């Protein structure tokens, strides 16, 4: 999984995201639309603690819609259990 280019990524509010289940730090949601040639966007959540760096991320077709993609990733993150690393 490549690093998200901050110049091509939108950072969403983390207000509805639970803290990291591993270290308790705040987390940030990213949406990378730089792969527009393939109509694919990558949406994920990453722990703000660089010593932890827990993250999830999924590709979505553009037709799925950014709002739907953000909702799905947020739900998956918020259901993440500590033993699922
Ligand atoms: Zn963490």
Could you tell me the distance, in angstroms and rounded to a whole number, from the CA of residue 61 to the centre of ligand 1?
28
Asked whether 57 and 70 are in contact (CB, 8 A), the reply is: no
Res 6: pLDDT? 44
pLDDT digits (tens, 9 = 90+) for 10-49: 555 555 899 999 999 999 888 887 776 788 989 999 999 9
- What is the pLDDT averaged over residues 74-84? 81
Q: What is the pTM of this model?
A: 0.74
Tokens of residue 64, six digits: 């799925």
- CA-to-CA distance for 39 and 36, rounded, in angstroms? 5
- Which helix (H) or strand (E) segment holds residue 1: the answer is none
Could you tell me the distance, in angstroms and rounded to a whole number, from the CA of residue 56 to the centre of ligand 1?
12
For the chain, what percent of residues have pLDDT higher than 90? Answer: 44
Could you tell me the distance, in angstroms and rounded to a whole number, from the CA of residue 54 to the centre of ligand 1?
5
Tokens 């792969």 -> residue:
35
CA distances from 61 to 13, 19, 73 (A): 22, 27, 14
- The residue ranges of every structural domain in the chain are 2-12+21-80
- Residues with CB in 5 Å of ion ligand 1: 20, 22-23, 25, 47, 49, 52, 54
DSSP string, 9-39: EEEEP-TTSPPPTTT---EEEEEE-TTGGGT
Res 10: pLDDT? 55
Question: Which pLDDT band, with edges at 50, 70 and 90, does 80 fall under?
Answer: confident
């Amino acid at each position: 999984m490549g690093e998200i280019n901050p110049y091509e990524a939108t950072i969403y509010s983390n207000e509805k995201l639970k803290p990291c289940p591993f270290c308790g730090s705040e987390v940030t949601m990213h949406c990378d639309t730089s792969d527009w040639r393939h109509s694919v966007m990558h949406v994920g959540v990453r722990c703000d603690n660089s010593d932890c760096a827990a993250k999830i991320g999924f590709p979505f077709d553009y037709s799925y819609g950014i709002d739907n993609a953000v909702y799905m990733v947020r739900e998956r993150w918020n259901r993440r259990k500590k033993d699922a690393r």
